[in-house]
Amino acid sequence: MTLNFIQVILVVLVSFLAGMEGILDEFHFHQPVIACTLIGLVTGQLVPCMILGGSLQMIALGWANIGAAVAPDAALAAIASAIILVLGGQGRAGVSSAIAIAVPLAVAGLLLTILARTLATIIVHVMDRAAEEGSFTKIDIWQWIAICMQGLRIAIPAAAILAVGAGPVKAMLNSMPSWLTDGLSIGGGMVVAVGYAMVINMMASREMWPFFALGFVLAAVSEITLIGLGAIGVSLALVYLHLEKSGNSGNGGGGANTGDPVGDIIDKY
């Protein structure tokens, strides 16, 4: 698929916003489900990009910055894989390959992240000197420079992929043998499962398992829509909050309440 000039500008703009949001974390443009959806919206490939974004979001749920360890770059993975999916012109059939390509792109994006953070350290010292001078204008300017640098961290690779063009990207995807594409599809599915398993491992507690099991069963019922599942989730949350208040009140039997209502109930029975 070939993009026109307006689409190219919009794709680069979305990439720039995704890069900035990786630091600002206010509107979540860097989240794969949003970034891929926006790329699909401006390129006219909304459905395949939404599927890609949802799959990548399940992987990125398990990515987190812990101490000095920096997580893979979800923004670069989402933007680059979505652009490759659009340029490849394979539609839904290319989602599996795009997912498999996104993971090494996310790891490679760590180099750009480390470079940007190293430069940001220098900018912080410049801002410290501006603060000593009492120049709030300089502080604001360097703040914007640092944020725009994060945007360019994603926008420049996106522009490079667009510069390559649809022809080479499509030729590369079409030249991939079936055993490789099938392997990437299986590997992509396994990565999604691993990402979700990491989230469950972090959230796993005695109080959470009943809700997880209930949600897992309800999600398997095809007649329940996403709106219905959302309403059930809100209802369960309200029930949990009510039980929490009841648990803290000290009513309903002997023994100290921990503040975890479901845990208290399990302990009693």
Among 30, 49, 132, smallest CA distance to 87 is for 49
- 69 forms bridges with which residues in the sheet? 66
Instruction: Give residue 254's pLDDT band: very low, low, confident or very high (50, 70, 90).
Output: very low
Distance CA 55, CA 191 (A): 10
For the chain, give every domain's residue range.
Answer: 5-203, 209-268
Whole-model pTM over 0.85: no
For residue 106, count CB atoms less than 10 angstroms from its CB and return exposed for 0-12, middle for 13-18, buried for 19 or more: buried
Q: Could you read off the pLDDT of 181-222 as tens digits, one per residue?
A: 667 666 656 655 666 676 677 666 777 778 778 877 887 887
Q: Could you read off the pLDDT of 60-95 as tens digits, one per residue?
A: 776 666 555 566 788 888 998 899 889 887 787 778
Residue 8: predicted pLDDT: 92
Res 140 pLDDT > 50: yes
Q: Which two tokens stand for residue 132?
A: 């000593």
Q: Which two tokens stand for residue 117?
A: 């953070």
Q: Which two tokens stand for residue 162?
A: 């667009």
Query: In Å, what is the CA distance from 185 to each residue of 15, 38, 91, 208, 236?
Result: 26, 24, 15, 31, 35
